[in-house]
Amino acid sequence: MIEINLDSIAQQSSFRHIHPGTKLILALGSLIICLVSPFPVVPLISGIVLSLVLIVPGRISPRVYGEILLGPAIFTAISIVVLLFMLGGGDVIWRFNPLPWIDLSITTGAVQESTLVLCRVFGCSVSLFFIALTTPMTDLFNGMKRVGIPIELIDLMMIIYRYIFIVYDQAVEIWNAQVMRLGYSRPREAVRSFSMLCGMLFISSWIAGEDLIRAMDCRCYNGIMPSLDSAEPIRWHSLVPVLVYLAGLGGILLVMITGIVVLS
C-alpha cells in the first residue's frame, strides 16, 4: 500500500524554513482571488503557477504531486458531470431522451458555469496543498500560539493529529493480516473481518491514550506541551515576490473585469 504523508513532504520541502506567515499570505491570497474571480482564466493561472513552484523550486516529485491531486480531481469530475445536467441557460448543445419523461440536455450556460467551477476548484485546491506541502503542522501550531489561540486547544489538536497516523498504521497492519488470511474472500467473512478491525482499533486507541496519559504524568506534564519553533522570521526577500505575484494576479482579474465593463 502506497502511503503519502503530507507532513513528511513538507519537512523535506525547500520552503520548509520560510516563515509560515509568508506562505499563508500567498496561499490565502490566491485562494480568495480564485473564489471571487468570475473568469476561469484567473484561477487556472494561479493553479498552474503554484503547481510549478511546488514542483520546480519546491522539489516535489511530479508523480507524487499528481497522486495528491488525484483525489480532488475524481471528486470534481463527478461534480462537474452532475452540474452539466443541472445548470441551464443558453443554447442546447447536446440532448438525450432515453424515455419520454426524461430529458437530459447540456447547454452553453451549463458548460460555462461548469468550466468556472472546475478552474476554481483547481486553483483553490492547489492553494491549500501549497500550505500542506510546504508547512509542517508543528509550524502551524506554533503560528497558532503566536496569534493567541488557547494553548489547551492547540495541545488537543497536536494529540489528535499525532494519533491519526498511529491509528492509520494500526489499521493498515490489521487489514494486511486479515487479507493474507483470506478475511475478505467472501461477503460474510468481509463483514466479520471489518467488524473485528473496528473493534481492535477502538481497543488499541483506548490503550494508547492511557499510555500517553501515564507517560505525560511521568514527565511532569503541567498543561503545556513545548514544541520547537524553527521557522525563520519574515524576510523581505521572500515576502516581496509573494506580494508581487498576488498583485499581478489581482491585476489580471481587474483588467478582465474592467474590459468586460467597457465592452458592455
DSSP character for 181?
T
Together in a domain, 258 and 195: no
**pLDDT attached to residue 5:** 74
The answer to whether residue 225 sits within a structural domain is no
Lowest pLDDT segment from 32-36, 185-189, 247-251 = 185-189
| pLDDT higher than threshold 50 for residue 32 | yes
In order of 40, 165, 175, the CA distances from 16 in angstroms are: 31, 21, 34
The answer to whether residue 1 sits within a structural domain is no
**pLDDT attached to residue 50:** 94
Distance CA 19, CA 151 (A): 21
Parent domain of 210: 150-218
Q: Between 74 and 6, whose confidence is greater?
A: 74
Q: What are phi and psi of 88, to 5 degrees?
A: -135, -170
Together in a domain, 248 and 198: no
| SS3 (DSSP) at 29 | helix
Distance CA 221, CA 158 (A): 15
**pLDDT attached to residue 211:** 84
The answer to whether residue 229 sits within a structural domain is no
Together in a domain, 43 and 98: yes
The answer to whether residue 15 sits within a structural domain is yes
Percent of the chain at pLDDT exceeding 90:
21
The answer to whether residue 187 sits within a structural domain is yes
| pLDDT higher than threshold 80 for residue 79 | yes
**pLDDT attached to residue 33:** 93
The answer to whether residue 256 sits within a structural domain is yes
**pLDDT attached to residue 231:** 58
**pLDDT attached to residue 216:** 78
Together in a domain, 13 and 94: yes
Together in a domain, 13 and 32: yes
| pLDDT higher than threshold 70 for residue 262 | no
Are the beta carbons of 113 and 83 closer than 8 angstroms? yes
**pLDDT attached to residue 3:** 46
Distance CA 225, CA 236 (A): 32
The answer to whether residue 224 sits within a structural domain is no
| pLDDT higher than threshold 60 for residue 260 | yes
**pLDDT attached to residue 227:** 66
**pLDDT attached to residue 163:** 81
Global pTM reads: 0.78
Together in a domain, 172 and 49: no
Q: How many domains does the chain have?
A: 2
Q: Between 191 and 209, whose confidence is greater?
A: 191
What is the tens place of the pLDDT at every residue in 88-136? Answer: 777 777 777 777 777 777 788 888 888 999 999 999 999 999 998 998 8
**pLDDT attached to residue 248:** 92
229 pLDDT band, cuts 50/70/90, is low
Together in a domain, 243 and 135: yes
